[in-house]
Amino acid sequence: MTRRSFNRQGATALAGLAALPVIFPRRKTSGQIIGHGDFRYEVDLEWGDLDPMAHPVKNCHEMVQDRAGRLIMITDEVRNNILIYDRSGKLLDSWGTGFPYGHGLTLWDAGGEEFLFICDNGFDGNAQVVKTTLDGREVMRLESPVTLGEYGEEDNFYPTETAIGPNGDIYVADGYGSQWILQYSESGEFIRKFGGRGDGDAQFSTVHGLAIDSRAGRPTLLCTSRGHNAFKRYSLDGDYLETLFLPGAFVCRPVIRGEMLYSGVCWSRLRYLNQTPDSGFVTILDGDNRVVSNPGGTAPEYRDGVLQLMVQAEPIFKHCHDVCVDDDENIYVCQWNAQQTYPIRLRRV
């Protein structure tokens, strides 16, 4: 599908949205079953709740699972940037006070030893991309593209996410800054940048998240372009390959689990119709990159092979910023701008 036809389709679908019912503020819905087809889930709103006086959160930005099954989450609350849960929702550990804009969290298994890569947006002028051990010891800090001379004076650097290639190369998404993907070697040496801000096929509008996608047999880099309602695929050397349009869904990072691709949708087109600013849901794609379920959203519909507009259908979520999928295919949803609430669990049924 061309961008022109995609935009035309979106405009037609938006006109039809005026007939949708008004969505009311989130209500307590634990126990509700949501989702479509074979991917349906029971909602547990209280799964991750903690004492906010002892372990507060601002935004629950991202979550990963380590080999031991622990669920590790980053927040931008400097009293405990990292919260570590077991799968029952019990807090196991917490650490970190140095990431006031903690945002991206990537787990890398380096041949048996696990590390975290943390992105701090640096809206205070101190952008950080830091590699740590699972207990918070700093191992490496990447040099900013500004100090490397790769950015001009007018270019901002506000990193949002990392992904680690099969050879250890580090890819950094400057999702809130100048929209480049920055590639470093495993030891932190700068290699190249690609992408950048714009509406071309190989450019981005909020390159918010990254993932290495090896489902087709050879690894590629899957990148969010949230403003385009899309994921864009590149070779590991930065060559543009294809775009996966997800009309109406302002997606966050792609999360690969087995043959499936999951993503939190931070908001949907409803935001721009003044129906509700809090219009997130979760979207799930199969190995052929077809949407098969939208927990909290409208059922996926294809007409003549073309995916139709997707929006929030139920007011369960506010802004789904990230998802983590465990060994039993339960989904843990981290939310941004959600009144400092803790993660929600969706139990696969």
In terms of C-beta density within 10 A (0-12 exposed, 13-18 middle, 19 or more buried), how is residue 22 classed?
exposed
Please state the φ and ψ torsions of residue 278, each to the nearest 5 degrees: -105, 90
- Total structural domains within the chain: 1
Assign residue 153 a region (left: φ > 0; alpha: ψ between -120 and 50; beta: otherwise).
alpha
How much is the pLDDT for 29?
Answer: 63
Q: Is pLDDT above 90 for 293?
A: yes
8-23: pLDDT as tens digits:
444 444 444 444 433 3
Could you tell me the CATH number of the domain that includes residue 195? 2.120.10.30
Confidence of residue 2 (pLDDT cuts 50, 70, 90): very low
How much is the pLDDT for 272?
Answer: 83
Kind plus residue range of the DSSP H or E element containing 230: strand 230-234
Q: Is pLDDT above 80 for 106?
A: yes
What DSSP letter does each residue of 77-96 carry, written as one string?
-TT-SEEEE-TTS-EEEEE-
Token pair 């947006």: residue: 121
Average pLDDT over residues 201-211: 98
Q: Is pLDDT above 80 for 124?
A: yes
Confidence of residue 276 (pLDDT cuts 50, 70, 90): confident
* DSSP secondary structure code for residue 227 in this structure: G
How much is the pLDDT for 274?
Answer: 60
Confidence of residue 273 (pLDDT cuts 50, 70, 90): confident
Q: What is the mean pLDDT of the chain?
A: 92
The 10 Å Cβ neighbour count of residue 227 is: 15
298-310: pLDDT as tens digits:
999 999 999 999 9
Dihedral (Cα; 53, 59, 60, 62), 10-degree rounding: -140
Average pLDDT over residues 327-333: 97
Distance of alpha carbon 105 from alpha carbon 207, whole angstroms: 15
223-264: pLDDT as tens digits:
999 999 999 999 999 999 999 999 999 999 999 999 999 999
Distances in Å between the Cα of 49 and the Cα atoms of 29, 174, 190, 345 are 15, 31, 40, 11
Average pLDDT over residues 203-209: 98
Token pair 């989904």: residue: 331
Average pLDDT over residues 282-289: 98
3-state secondary structure of 318: coil
Q: Is pLDDT above 50 for 344?
A: yes
Distance of alpha carbon 110 from alpha carbon 149, whole angstroms: 30
3-61: pLDDT as tens digits:
444 444 444 444 444 444 333 344 456 899 999 999 999 999 999 999 999 999 999 99
139-179: pLDDT as tens digits:
999 999 999 999 998 999 999 999 999 999 999 999 999 99
Nearest to 268 by CA among 250, 284, 254, 247: 250
Q: H helices of the chain, where?
A: 3-17
The residue segments making up the domain with residue 261 are 3-348
